[in-house]
Amino acid sequence: MMFPLILAGIGLVVLLLLARLRDQRLSARIVENPAAHLRPVDIEAFRNLIDPDEEEYLRTRLSPVEFRKIQRERMRAAVECVSCAARNAMVLSRLGHAARHSPDPATAAAAGKLIDEALHLRMYAFQAMPRLYLGILFPSRPMAPLRVAEGYEQMTRQVVLLGLQYPTRGASAAL
């Protein structure tokens, strides 16, 4: 009885070590070329996709069947935008962690702020995804995860500030 538990514990530790090693290699590749890991996000298009006024406009102009079809497509596109924004937040967080160890206090502070903004954006994305999926299932129900758009814009501004002090290697241009 005890042997399988020990074996399972060892297996879990090995999996955690392998995940950590993979994470460190990914972080190194991100710091070398962050722009290659970023996905473009059109924040204005995202705002349009989740705009309640735009939704109401479509609701009044389209038949209920057409509206549900279009609304599902809009929510799928919004899911893609949020997914890309969350991935970008992860990439920029890794870049911020690398810049945080800079001897320049202003750079280290900007990196810390970037890490905070990226964490907030990932939390907003985590909260928005279920709402968007519910919007796909029930297109007549209004949803508006605006905090993702605001968080993404704040994080993007922080990347620009960090890029003025630390080599972000094209990260701000890729956003």
Q: What is the pLDDT of residues 151-167, one digit of tens each?
A: 888 777 777 767 655 55
Residue 23 located in a structural domain = no
Question: pTM of this prediction?
Answer: 0.72
| pLDDT for 153 | 81
What own/partner pairs with CB < 8 Å and gap ≥ 24 does 157-163 have? 158/110, 158/113, 158/114, 158/117, 159/92, 159/95, 159/114, 161/110, 161/113, 162/95, 162/96, 162/99, 162/107, 162/110, 162/111, 162/114
| pLDDT for 23 | 62
Domain range for residue 134? 40-174
Tell me which amino acid residue 167 is: P
| pLDDT for 168 | 53
Distance in angstroms (rounded) separating the CA atoms of residues 128 and 50:
11
Residue 153 located in a structural domain = yes
Task: Report, as an integer, the average pLDDT of 21-39.
Answer: 68
Residue 34 located in a structural domain = no
Residue that the structure tokens 């241009």 belong to: 173
Task: Report, as an integer, the average pLDDT of 44-67.
Answer: 91
Residue 100 located in a structural domain = yes
Residue 173 has pLDDT above 80, yes or no: no
Residue 166 located in a structural domain = yes
Q: Please count the structural domains in the chain.
A: 1
Residue 63 has pLDDT above 70, yes or no: yes
Residue that the structure tokens 């074996």 belong to: 7
Residue 1 located in a structural domain = no
More confident residue, 124 or 165: 124
pLDDT in tens, 70-119: 999 999 999 999 999 998 888 888 888 888 888 888 888 888 888 998 89
DSSP state of 1: -
| pLDDT for 72 | 93
| pLDDT for 79 | 93
Residue 101 located in a structural domain = yes
Residue 14 located in a structural domain = no
Distance in angstroms (rounded) separating the CA atoms of residues 66 and 28:
47
